Amino acid sequence: MSQGEFDIIKRYFQRSTNKVDGVEIGIGDDCAILDVPCDHQLAVTTDSLVSGVHFFEDVDAYRLGYKSLAVNLSDLAAMGATAKWVSLAITLPKIDEVWLAEFCRGFFALADKYNVKLIGGDTTKGPLSITVSAKGLVKTGQALTRCNAKIGDVIFVSGCLGDGALGLLVKLLATETELFTKDNQQAFVNALELTEPRLHLAKLLVGYASSCIDISDGLSQDLSHILNKSQCSAEITLENLPFSDAILNEIKLDHLSLSQVWQHAVNGGDDYELLFTIPADKVSAFKALLNTQSKYDDLACYEIGKITKQKQIECEKLTTASAVSSILFTYLQQPVDVNSTGWDHFK
């Protein structure tokens, strides 16, 4: 390893930590040493972002730094964990100090917001890629999982759906045509690149949610993970899906049809909202709890369906992949043909 690597680490990534942060030993040794409280378990998640696959080569460095951490913190939120520590492995084609400064500014803007400490990692030379491993704490036995949804549970989603997928569409086609109004285009791109992990909501879900997952690959695909693990099916009410003001405005302007919005919301991915189930007898108490949390502005949750008995959904009106699946989509109580796909790296 060259001296340049150590200079990069010291200048851009090394920050002070102490035992108050749970860090016995941080950056500077071969391993970080962390103190985990005796009544807690450690939640660990790792994601890689590769240039040309997960982000455009010309993406703003600040936004890339922000999102590379955000997608990992979203995984911790889905488990009901409190984010604590993160390690970062970054591969750089060259040393670009302006780019590095902006990347770190975005990364630490989100880390500081949630008091997450960078405790180690690696820097190498090669095609641009970022791998982040985030660690959090959850009280022993209280982690949220995908496997405990039960028949009759109410399905909720946080935030709004579809904006991230539309942001990707804007980025892909922006050089060819202006798809939407300028302000709405920017709102969609912001949703794609400045993902907000729902860590505040995650803490409230513990004790209420029977299952939980974050929506990274699309509502249909991520919901299917819960259904497969829990051995049940679901009915999703399309008129209850939450949409942002930007999407509603584009529908009003006839730039988007309702069926197009459904496809983006159900299959688009990049929402990083929480999808969770709550037993019917706990829904009122959960909503009451949300109403007491006025200091947070990111707790909006919406009922979008219910968990049903495991079955193959078959209907004469349905012809695509949704015709034989574990998810029934309805609109005004009538079955609707929504081609359920979702993101898969190898398809």
The CATH architecture assigned to 154-335 reads Alpha-Beta Complex (3.90)
Q: Are 77 and 214 in contact (CB under 8 A)?
A: yes
| 270 marked ligand binding residue | yes
Confidence band for 145, pLDDT divided at 50, 70 and 90: very high
| 259 marked ligand binding residue | no
Considering the chain, tell me which residue range(s) the CATH 3.30.1330.10 domain(s) occupy.
3-139
Task: Give the tokens for residue 57.
Answer: 């080569």
**For every residue of 65-91, which 3-state class applies, written as one string?**
HHHHHHHHHHHHHHCCCEEEEEEEEEE
Q: Which residue has the tokens 């949630």?
A: 114
| 46 marked ligand binding residue | yes
pLDDT of 330: 95
| 198 marked ligand binding residue | no
| 343 marked ligand binding residue | yes
Considering the chain, tell me which residue range(s) the CATH 3.90.650.10 domain(s) occupy.
154-335
Q: Which residue has the tokens 């005796």?
A: 38
| 40 marked ligand binding residue | no
Mean pLDDT over the full length of the chain: 87
| 124 marked ligand binding residue | no
Spatial separation of the C-alpha atoms in residues 190 and 302, rounded to whole Å: 22
Helices (H), ranges, the chain = 3-8, 61-78, 97-113, 163-173, 182-193, 199-205, 219-230, 245-252, 258-267, 283-291
In this structure, the chain runs to a length of: 347
Q: Which residue has the tokens 């997960």?
A: 54
Give the pLDDT confidence of 264-320 residue by residue, as tens digits. 999 988 999 999 999 999 999 999 999 998 777 778 999 999 999 976 555 544 444
Q: What are phi and psi of 10, to 5 degrees?
A: -65, -40
Task: Give the tokens for residue 5.
Answer: 């690597």
pLDDT above 60 (res 323): no
CA angle 34, 38, 43 (to 5 degrees): 60
Q: Which fold has domain 3-139?
A: 60s Ribosomal Protein L30; Chain: A; (3.30.1330)
Confidence band for 324, pLDDT divided at 50, 70 and 90: very low
Spatial separation of the C-alpha atoms in residues 208 and 228, rounded to whole Å: 21
| 200 marked ligand binding residue | no
| 122 marked ligand binding residue | yes
| 58 marked ligand binding residue | no
| 254 marked ligand binding residue | no
| 54 marked ligand binding residue | yes
Helices 182-193 and 163-173, packing angle to 10 deg? 110
| 63 marked ligand binding residue | no
SS3 305: strand
pLDDT above 70 (res 137): yes
| 35 marked ligand binding residue | no
SS3 318: coil
Q: What are phi and psi of 277, to 5 degrees?
A: -120, 145
pLDDT of 29: 79
DSSP state letter for 1: -
Confidence band for 1, pLDDT divided at 50, 70 and 90: very low
